[in-house]
Amino acid sequence: MGLNERQNITDGRMLPARHANAAKVRLLVVFLGLVASIASGSQVGATTFHSQTSLVQRRIATVDNPNDYITSGFNGVARLAGQESNRHSCAGSLLKTGLHLLTAGHCVFEFKPQDFVLDFGEIQLSAAQFFIHPEYEHSIAANDIAIIELTTKAPQQLTRYEIYRDNNEIGKVFNLVGYGAFGTGDRGAGLSPADFDYQKRLGQNTYDASGELLNGLIPDFPILPGTLAYDFDNGLPENDAFGIVFGSQYANLGLGLEEVNSALGDSGSPNFIDGLIAGITSYGFGANYSDRLLSTDLTPTRTDSSFGEFSVDTRVSFYARWIDSVLQNNNSVSIPEPRPLTGLAIVSAGFLLKRNKYRHD
């Protein structure tokens, strides 16, 4: 998973970002999934922050060994690996039937079941068919949820998960499990193939609000009901995205060294509340709110899962009835015929072209 945790800030402070001169909001948004072959991301030449930090560490940046955050738990969370290249793409979590995985709609949109291997580590399984939500809208990641049906039931040693059904997720701490790009909160996640080691890592964050609260921040990009949102905090008020943009009601300096963020390759990853799947990683965005002379994103010229960025999940409780209908085979979900593809690299490149808009996990 592409988890970025708070980097050790040795001088104990960061200076505010340089104010931009543009007259309108500049937003960088990227979907965070289907990473197969991507160009290397470079650091901004003239940084807008000045601080001393520890050396770059992988994915979860802590003062301790980041490999301590590799987990052997959550063995029911699989990596969606491409059949051709085995490059990282997305993730999915095994549901109570043992025959279905929950994931993001954009992870399987325009793909065929035979394009993937469901990699649980020592166990690899195959997909038989996809069920994409009938109101899924690819261009705005609306209703970004899908179910993968396996060709055979998963072995009993793989954990099955129930879904979260209450609508009280806001304010609750969740566990994010995934295989995405590694990086640090102060420098962001890397974008080259070398930034993926396919290790499963675990970290925490807190749901701050319903995703609809973010409407208006991304021009011509409505955020519909059925989403949950959180930001990536570093314990400093100037990088508290919700607190700065929406006021003291939403101010929260985060979980300190426990806080992580999703990154490229984490799409479809589950976020657990009390061991139940409450969110599905979908997308995120960074912003330079230049019309208000505000900037919360530590790297405001690019979206890279750094401190001060927003992330948006599919809200599983909102789709509980649809999930139940699929598992009970009482559905009429149609799957669009996929266009011919030569592998994950093609679709990944397509998402990268959208990096100036939003990041798809």
The per-residue pLDDT for 11 is: 28
Q: How far apart are CA 173 and CA 271, in angstroms?
A: 10
- Residue 353's pLDDT is 28
Question: Which residues, listed in sequence order, are joined to residue 210 by a DSSP beta bridge?
Answer: 228
pTM metric for this prediction: 0.78
pLDDT of res. 57: 25
pLDDT at 290: 52
d(CA 180, CA 105) in angstroms, rounded, equals: 17
Q: Write down the pLDDT at residue 88.
A: 55
Q: Enumerate residue ranges in the chain where pLDDT < 70.
A: 1-68, 84-88, 287-294, 330-357
